[in-house]
A and B are shown apart, each in its own frame.
Chain A
Amino acid sequence: MIEDAFRNNRELASSLVKIIEKYAEKIDKEQLSGSAPIKIMHFCGTHEWTITHYGLRSLLPQNVELVAGPGCPVCVVPSNYIDLSIKLSLEGCVVYTYGDALRLPSNKPKSQARSLLEAKAVGGEVKVVYSFLDAVRDAKTHSRDSVFLGIGFETVLPMYGFLFHKKEVPTNLKFLSLVRLTPPAMKYTIKLYKERGLLPIMGIIAPGHVSTVIGGEEWRFLPRNFNLPTVVAGFEPIDVLMSIASILKMINDRKPDLEIEYKRLVKTDGNPQMRRVIEEVFEPVYAAWRGIGMIARSGLKLRPEFGQVYDAFEYFGIKDVSPSEYVMTHAHFGDAGSYDVPPNCRCGEVVLGISKPTDCPLFMKSCTPESPWGPCMVSSEGTCNVWAKYGQMEKIKMKTR
């Protein structure tokens, strides 16, 4: 039924496109007078997937531009953690990871193991799991040192929080917290756009599933502090079209507000019970985002009572990157050193929506989904990967009526 309503619903799509066209024309005439496109940023990589896979850009009028934001948790894992997990795996420690992160490249030259997959090929112990639960169950079957790469946004936190809280995790399984929080990154991106004087973003499509945990209200700062119309959207094509229509309506009325389009899952306060558990287990810290920089209170770390048993940083004696150590600038504009993205890769810009994947000199040349050079080409949510797989759809002008 959901498919019929939100995916294969041609009728609804065409009436939404009509509404979008009308509003875009009106805004262009009354507010912009043809000077700039209406730029709408979607945070989530899965939104980019929906938009590109279903060719939604080809349905939109020319002056509406959709830009992908930093919503790919795999793409933003700093490369030093990948190097670290490769090293651990080669030293005999079992590394559990999501399949997404298996091929994530570090900045090493091609002669060395650049990803966990390559480490596995040369004898490293790497196990792909579907969830933390699987890793916990597997770690219980042996007593060897093992580490779980805790990648993800807020959506995976209930799992981590719950299992730690229930003391289900065996002590030989350590946790490398690479959890990143989405609202701080969104705020950082918008501020960066303002500071750099880039073409302003006029509306935000906020992530739907993240909001099921943190609550739609967490995005209230966007309309309140930045005057940006914000819609928490679902991941079917109709959801995205609907949120674009509502953003355009808010721009037209000049009344930026927060709306929840994903009514079937998202509540204003999210999942309070799980939020409480997460708060008991984790605390916010400064965190590095690959290609973006250091963002305050954007990462989570285990609280000391759990950390002294499970924190991989403490157990393996790893020194975490301090804010001053991390190169604050953008990979392209400063000397990124060993951090951030590999040479010539423009993932930093792509992640922030400043460049399109096609602007990158490596895109589909030396960087392809089969052999990714930069981080955005790896995950199914990475903008480059999505464009590489489904990008041709953009060239087809679809007939809606």
Chain B
Amino acid sequence: MCWGTPGKVLEIDNENKIAKIDFGGVVREALIAIDDLKVGEFVMVHAGVIIGKMDSRDVAVNLALYSELAEMAYRDMGLDEDEARTKARTELNKLFSNLGIDPKGIDEVKSQIGEKEDDDEKYSKVEIPKNAFRKVYRVSLADSDY
């Protein structure tokens, strides 16, 4: 039951926490399970629940993640550090331009991810690797005795 359907928010009823969502023509009501939802935003709906929202920045973040993976992969395949970085960066630029995202914003996107995760005061950082995407957080999973 992980089937999610992306849709666009048409109307919001904050009192009952219900929003009208347009799924490419079909309009249905869904429960709002997230904060700060605005009309016009794109959301993921699952069995009548809005479980998250997405924007182009999130897509950029996702793609930047690929670029980092590719960079490491190229290094593992024998390219030296600079070559690998340049190659991965070129690929990412191309991806961004294909999708109409401003490639100039890559560094901004990358730094924003770092900041966003740092906001979580709940997690105590154990180690900070060089790579912004590879930060490791430890949570007290007191109830993890499944």
Contact = CB atoms under 8 A, between A and B. Distances in A.
A73 B136 contact: no
A268 B2 contact: no
Contacts of A252: 76
A103 interface: no
Contact of A133 (B31, B117, B137): B31
Contact of A156 (B34, B49, B100, B122): B49
B142 to A, nearest CB: 12
Contacts of B41: none
B113 A263 contact: yes
B103 interface: no
Contacts of B146: 181, 183-184, 187-188, 221, 295-298
B4 A158 contact: no
A46 B3 CA distance: 6
A249 B136 contact: no
**SS class, residues of chain A in contact with chain B:** helix
A155 interface: yes
A320 interface: no
Contacts of B18: 133
Nearest to B78: A22
A210 B46 CA distance: 10
Interface in A251-270: 252, 257, 261-266, 268-269
A12 interface: yes
A59 B3 CA distance: 23
Given A264-B54, A265-B44, A273 B117 contact: no
Nearest to A155: B46
Contacts, number: 183
Most buried by A among B6, B18, B134, B137: B137
A157 to B, nearest CB: 9
A2 interface: yes
B33 to A, nearest CB: 4
B2 A158 contact: no
B63 interface: yes
Contact of A268 (B56, B91, B137): B137
Most buried by B among A5, A15, A132, A208: A5
B76 A155 contact: no
B33 A73 contact: no
Interface stretch (A119-127, A212-220, A308-316): A212-220
A23 B134 CA distance: 19
Most buried by A among B34, B49, B70: B49
B59 A2 contact: yes
Most buried by B among A19, A49, A257, A297: A19
Interface in A185-235: 187-188, 207-210, 212-213, 217-218, 220-221, 234-235
Contact of B2 (A187, A209, A297): A209
Contacts of A271: 33-34, 51
B2 A159 contact: no
Contacts of A181: 146
B54 A265 contact: yes
A349 interface: no
B65 to A, nearest CB: 6
Contacts of A264: 52, 54, 58-59, 61-62
A44 interface: yes
B48 A381 contact: no
Interface string A4-16: 1110010110011
A295 B145 CA distance: 12
B70 A19 contact: yes
30 contacts: A1-B99, A2-B59, A5-B59, A5-B62, A5-B99, A23-B76, A49-B3, A98-B47, A131-B30, A131-B47, A133-B30, A155-B2, A183-B146, A207-B2, A209-B4, A209-B44, A209-B46, A212-B52, A235-B4, A242-B69, A246-B69, A249-B69, A249-B73, A263-B58, A263-B61, A263-B65, A269-B123, A269-B139, A271-B51, A295-B146
Interface of A: 1-2, 4-6, 9, 11-12, 15-16, 19, 22-23, 26, 44-47, 49, 71-74, 98, 100, 130-134, 151-153, 155-156, 158-159, 162-163, 181, 183-184, 187-188, 207-210, 212-213, 217-218, 220-221, 234-235, 242, 245-246, 249, 252, 257, 261-266, 268-269, 271, 273-274, 295-298, 380-381
Interface of B: 1-4, 6, 17-18, 28-31, 33-35, 44, 46-49, 51-52, 54, 56, 58-59, 61-63, 65-66, 69-70, 72-73, 76-77, 91, 94-95, 98-100, 113, 117, 120, 122-123, 134, 136-139, 141, 144-146
